[in-house]
Chains A and B, each alone.
Chain A
Amino acid sequence: MFFRFVSQSIRRSPRRKAMTVAAVAMGTAVATAMLGVMLDIGDRVNRELRSLGANLMVTPKAQSLPVEIGGISYRPVSSQEYIPEDQVPKIKSTFWQLNITGFAPSLKAAASLGGRNVPVEGVWFRRRFRGADGSMLEAGLRTVNGEWKVDGRWIDDRARNDQNNGAVEARLEAMLGGAVAGRLGVKPGDTLQLFGQPFTVAGIISTGGEEEDRIFTRLEVLQRLTNRPNQVDAVQVGALTKPEDEFARKDPAKMTPKEYDRWYCTPYISSIAHQIEEVLPMAVARPIWRVADNEGKVLGKIRGLMMLITLAALASAGLTVWSVMATTVLERREEIAIMQATGAGNGLVAALFSTEVALEGAAGGLLGSWVGLLLAAWVGRAVFQTSLEIPAILGPIVVGAAVLASVAGAAQPLRRALLLQPAVALRGGE
C-alpha cells in the first residue's frame, strides 16, 4: 500500500517530478564539478610550478666559504669537500621520495675560452637507475629543468664511443649557454677545444638565467678531465612540497616527539631537506627560497581561493535543492489535507512524503554527481591536458548530501502542512 502510494504519486505527474529531479541534479552537478576541480587543482598547479627549476640545493658540508661570482670560483677548490656520486641516488630513498620529481648532481670547473674563464659543469642529463625498491627511476638536469629551450639536441647520457685503445669512453660532447655560444660564435655541430680536448657542441641552451654563461658536459667526462673521480659539488633537487604554515616554521629541535613526527611526515620543504641530510650525512640541503617560498605562497592562494569558491557553490547548491523541495511540498498541501481528512495519521503522511522526497533527492543526486564528474573531468582535460584525479568516494558523499538537503528542505513546510486543519487547507487559506 505504502509503496503503491509512492509509485503512483511519481507516475501520476511525471513532468513535475522530472522538473524537481532536474533541479536537484543541477545543484548537485555544480557542487560535484566544483569539488572535483578543487580537490585536484593544487596538485596540478604544484606540478606546473616545478618548471621554475630546483627548490632545494644540496652542497657538501664545507669548512670554507665559497667565493664564487657567476659560476667562477675565486678560491682554489679543495678536493676534500664533495658528495660521492654513488651516494646521490639515495635522495630517492627518503620518506618523501615520491614527491621528489627530479634531481641533478653537478661538478664545477672552469675552462679558459677566448681569453676568459668560463664555468663548466659536469652533469647527469637524463639518467635511468634502479631505485632501492627495484623500480626504474629517472634523474638528471632534464628532470629538474625540463622546460629549458634547446637549439640542437640534449646530450644523451648513454652515448659512448670506442676510443683510447678500445676502452669504452663517454663521448666528448658539450651544451653551451646562449651567451657563451653567442660570444664564441659557435653553432650546434661545431667543435670546441675544452681542456685541450675536442668537444662536439650538441645544443645551445637559452634560459635567460646564469646557465647562459655555462658550459655543460657529462659528469664522468669532467670527472676524468679534472681528476676528481666519483665527486660532485652540488645536487639540485626539485620537490613537490606543501606550502609552509605556522607549524612548518617551528624549530624541529624544539618540537615534542609527537610534533616532530607530524613535521617529519608532512612534505614541507624543510622536512624534505632534513631527510636528504639524513641519507647524505656529508651534505647540507638548503631550500632555495626564491623558488620554494613563492611556490608555496602561490599554491596557498590558489588552494584557498578554490576552497572558498567551492564553499560558496556548495552553500548555494544546498539552498537550491532545499528550496525546490520546499516548493514541491507547498504545492501539494491540498493532497496532504485530503489524506488527513480521509483518516491518514500525521506519521504516515510524513513518511510517505519523506520517502518520495528522499527518492527524488537520490535520483537528482545520482544524475547530478554523474554529470558533475563529467564536467570536472572536462575542465581538467581542457585546462591541464590530463584528467583530474578525483577520489571515488566523492560521488556517494554528494548523493548523500543531496538526499539530506532534500529532506531538510521538505521538513519545515511538511510540518506546517500537517499542523494545518484539513478544512482550512482545502479552502486554500494559510
Chain B
Amino acid sequence: MFRTFVIRAVQFRKRRLGLAFAALAVSATLATALFSVYSDIERKMRVQFRGFGANIVIAPAGGGQTVPLAAVALAERQGAVAAPFIYTVGRVKSEPVVVAGTDFRRAGPLTNYWRVEGARTAAPGECLVGSSVAAHFRLKLGQKLELDGAPCTIRGIVSSGGAEDAQVILPFDAAAQLAGLPEGNKAAASLVQVRADGERLASVQAALAKQLPSADVRLLHAVAETEASVVLKLRSTLFLLTALIMAITTLCVSTNCSALVLERSKEIGILKAIGAAERKIAALFLSESLILGVASAAVGYGVGLLVAWWIGRQIFPESVAAGVGVNYGVFLPVAGVTLAMAAAATLAAAARIWRIKPAVILRGE
C-alpha cells in the first residue's frame, strides 16, 4: 500500500518531479566535477612544475672541485631524478670553448626546456652544441666539430637562453676524459642536479646531505618555493570554490525538498481527513525526497565524473595517459551531503504536517 502510494505520487507528478530532479542532478554534477578536479589538482600541477628542471643541486663543498659520481645513485635510490654534469674548457681551432658533459638519458627529464634542433641526445663520438657556439663557428647539423682531444659529429643545436648556449655538450665519459677526471670507483662530476617530488623535497635533501658529507647539497629556493606557493594557492582557490559550490548546492537541495512538501498542503489535508497518521504522511514525503536524492546523486556523479574527465583531458592530456584522472571516491561525500540535506529539509518542512488542520486547509485558507 505504502509503495503504491509513493509510486503513484511520482507517476502523477512526473513533470514537477522531473524539474526538481534536474535541479538536484545539475548541482550534484557540478559538485562531483569540482570535487574530483580539486582532489587531483596538486598531483597534476606538480607534474607541470617538473619542467623547471632540478630543485636540488649537489655541488662541491669547501675547497673541492668535484662531487663523487655515487651521488647520482644515492639520489635515485631516494626516488628522485638525478644527472651528473661536468664542465671543462676545451679548444676548437685553438679557440677556448666551454665543454659540458652529461648523461643524456638521465638529464633528459631535467632539460625539457632546451629547445633543440636535431637530436636531444648524443652517443659516443657525437655531441650537441649551443646556439651561440654554432653561430660562432658556423656549424650545422651532421658536421664534424674539431674539438681537440674529442672530435665529434654534431647531432643537435641547443638553445636555452642560459649557459648551454655557449657550450659544447658531450656524453659524460668523453667529457670526463677530456677534463682528466678519474674513472671507476673514484669517478666524479662537477655537479649533480636532482629533481625530487615537491612533497618529499625536504626529506630527500636531508637524506642526501647526510650521505654526502663532503658535498654541498643545496635546495634551489626559487624553484622549490614558487612551486609550493603556486600549487598551494591554486589548491586553496579550488578548495574555497568547491566548498562554496557545495554550500550553495545544499541550499538548493533543501529549498527544492521543502518546496515539494509546502506546495502540497491540500493533499496533506485530504490524507489527514481520511485518517492517515502524521508519521505515515511524513514517511511518504521522506521516501519521495530520498528517491529523488539517490537518483540525482547517481546521475550527477556519472555526469560529473565525465565533466571532470573531460576537463582533465583538455588541460592535462599528459596525465590522462597515466590514469583516467578522475576521483571515484567523491561519490560518498557528494551523495551523503545530498541525501542528508534532502532528508533534513523534508523533515523540517514535514513539521507542518502535524499543524495542518484538514478543515481549514480544504476550505482554501
Partners in one complex: yes
Q: How far is the CB of A425 from chain B (nearest CB, A)?
A: 13
Contact of B49 among A41, A66, A148, A298 (CB under 8 A): A298
**A48, A74, A75, A290 pick with most chain B CB within 10 angstroms:** A290
Query: B163–A68 contact, CB under 8 A?
Result: yes
Query: A309–B37 contact, CB under 8 A?
Result: yes
| Apart from the given pairs A69-B89, A312-B307, 14 other A-B contacts in the complex at a CB distance below 8 Å | A19-B259, A33-B244, A57-B161, A57-B162, A74-B98, A179-B61, A209-B220, A290-B160, A294-B113, A297-B48, A301-B45, A305-B311, A312-B30, A383-B240
Q: How far is the CB of B352 from chain A (nearest CB, A)?
A: 12
**A49, A65, A301 pick with most chain B CB within 10 angstroms:** A65
The answer to whether residues A67 and B233 also contact, given A53-B222, A309-B34, A319-B26 and a CB cut-off of 8 A, is: no
Query: A320–B52 contact, CB under 8 A?
Result: no
Residues of A within 8 A of B33 (CB): 309, 312
Query: A68–B241 contact, CB under 8 A?
Result: no
Contact of A22 among B63, B114, B160, B255 (CB under 8 A): B255
* Segment from A4-12, A92-100, A161-169, A325-333 that makes contact with B: A325-333
Q: How large is the interface on A (under 10, 10 to 19, 20 to 34, 35 or more residues)?
A: 35 or more
Query: B97–A289 contact, CB under 8 A?
Result: no
Q: Is A90 an interface residue (CB 8 A)?
A: no
Q: Is B294 an interface residue (CB 8 A)?
A: no
Contact of A323 among B26, B45, B218 (CB under 8 A): B26
Query: A301–B62 contact, CB under 8 A?
Result: no
Residues of B within 8 A of A379 (CB): 237, 240-241, 244
Q: Is A226 an interface residue (CB 8 A)?
A: no
Closest to A44 in B: B233
Contact of A298 among B27, B48, B114, B251 (CB under 8 A): B48
Contact of B89 among A48, A67, A212, A292 (CB under 8 A): A67
The answer to whether residues A383 and B236 also contact, given A207-B220, A294-B52, A327-B20 and a CB cut-off of 8 A, is: yes
Residues of B within 8 A of A30 (CB): 30, 244-245, 248
Interface residues of A in 292-320 (CB under 8 A from B): 292-294, 297-298, 301-302, 304-305, 308-309, 312-313, 316, 319-320
Residues of B within 8 A of A22 (CB): 251, 255
Query: A308–B241 contact, CB under 8 A?
Result: no
Q: Is A324 an interface residue (CB 8 A)?
A: yes
Complex Cα–Cα for A22 and B57 (A): 57
The answer to whether residues A45 and B314 also contact, given A209-B222, A320-B26 and a CB cut-off of 8 A, is: no
Residues of A within 8 A of B241 (CB): 33-34, 37, 309, 379
Residues of A within 8 A of B97 (CB): 65, 67
Residues of A within 8 A of B (CB): 15-16, 19, 22-23, 26-27, 29-30, 33-34, 37, 41, 44-45, 48-49, 51-53, 57, 64-70, 74-75, 116, 145, 147-149, 179, 182-183, 206-209, 212-213, 286-294, 297-298, 301-302, 304-305, 308-309, 312-313, 316, 319-320, 323-324, 326-327, 330-331, 375, 378-379, 382-384
Query: A45–B30 contact, CB under 8 A?
Result: no
Q: How far is the CB of B327 from chain A (nearest CB, A)?
A: 15
Query: A65–B222 contact, CB under 8 A?
Result: no
The answer to whether residues A65 and B133 also contact, given A41-B237, A74-B96, A179-B216 and a CB cut-off of 8 A, is: yes
Complex Cα–Cα for A287 and B56 (A): 23
Residues of A within 8 A of B229 (CB): 48, 51
- Contact residues of B: prevailing secondary structure: helix
Residues of A within 8 A of B252 (CB): 23, 26-27, 320
Q: How far is the CB of A382 from chain B (nearest CB, A)?
A: 6
The answer to whether residues A304 and B222 also contact, given A68-B98, A384-B233 and a CB cut-off of 8 A, is: no
Contact of B113 among A149, A289, A324 (CB under 8 A): A289
Query: A208–B218 contact, CB under 8 A?
Result: yes
Q: How far is the CB of B135 from chain A (nearest CB, A)?
A: 9
The answer to whether residues A326 and B19 also contact, given A208-B57, A379-B237, A384-B233 and a CB cut-off of 8 A, is: yes
Complex Cα–Cα for A179 and B57 (A): 12
Complex Cα–Cα for A41 and B251 (A): 27
Q: Is B212 an interface residue (CB 8 A)?
A: no
Per CB-CB distance, the 9 closest pairs between chain A and chain B, nearest first, are A208-B218, A288-B161, A294-B51, A208-B220, A316-B30, A323-B23, A286-B161, A308-B311, A290-B113
Interface residues of B in 143-181 (CB under 8 A from A): 159-163, 165-166
The answer to whether residues A147 and B316 also contact, given A23-B255, A30-B244, A289-B159 and a CB cut-off of 8 A, is: no
Closest to B12 in A: A428
Q: Is B287 an interface residue (CB 8 A)?
A: no
Q: Is B365 an interface residue (CB 8 A)?
A: no
Query: B34–A208 contact, CB under 8 A?
Result: no
Residues of B within 8 A of A147 (CB): 221-222, 225
Complex Cα–Cα for A304 and B166 (A): 36
Closest to A385 in B: B233
Q: Is B59 an interface residue (CB 8 A)?
A: yes
Complex Cα–Cα for A206 and B236 (A): 29
The answer to whether residues A293 and B245 also contact, given A67-B89, A147-B225, A316-B30 and a CB cut-off of 8 A, is: no
Closest to A53 in B: B222
Complex Cα–Cα for A179 and B311 (A): 45
Q: How far is the CB of A209 from chain B (nearest CB, A)?
A: 6
Residues of A within 8 A of B276 (CB): none
Contact of B29 among A179, A207, A297, A316 (CB under 8 A): A316
Query: B26–A48 contact, CB under 8 A?
Result: no
The answer to whether residues A183 and B62 also contact, given A67-B97, A147-B225 and a CB cut-off of 8 A, is: yes
Query: A19–B113 contact, CB under 8 A?
Result: no
Query: A289–B115 contact, CB under 8 A?
Result: yes
Complex Cα–Cα for A367 and B17 (A): 27
Query: A209–B57 contact, CB under 8 A?
Result: yes
Q: Is B234 an interface residue (CB 8 A)?
A: yes
Residues of A within 8 A of B62 (CB): 182-183
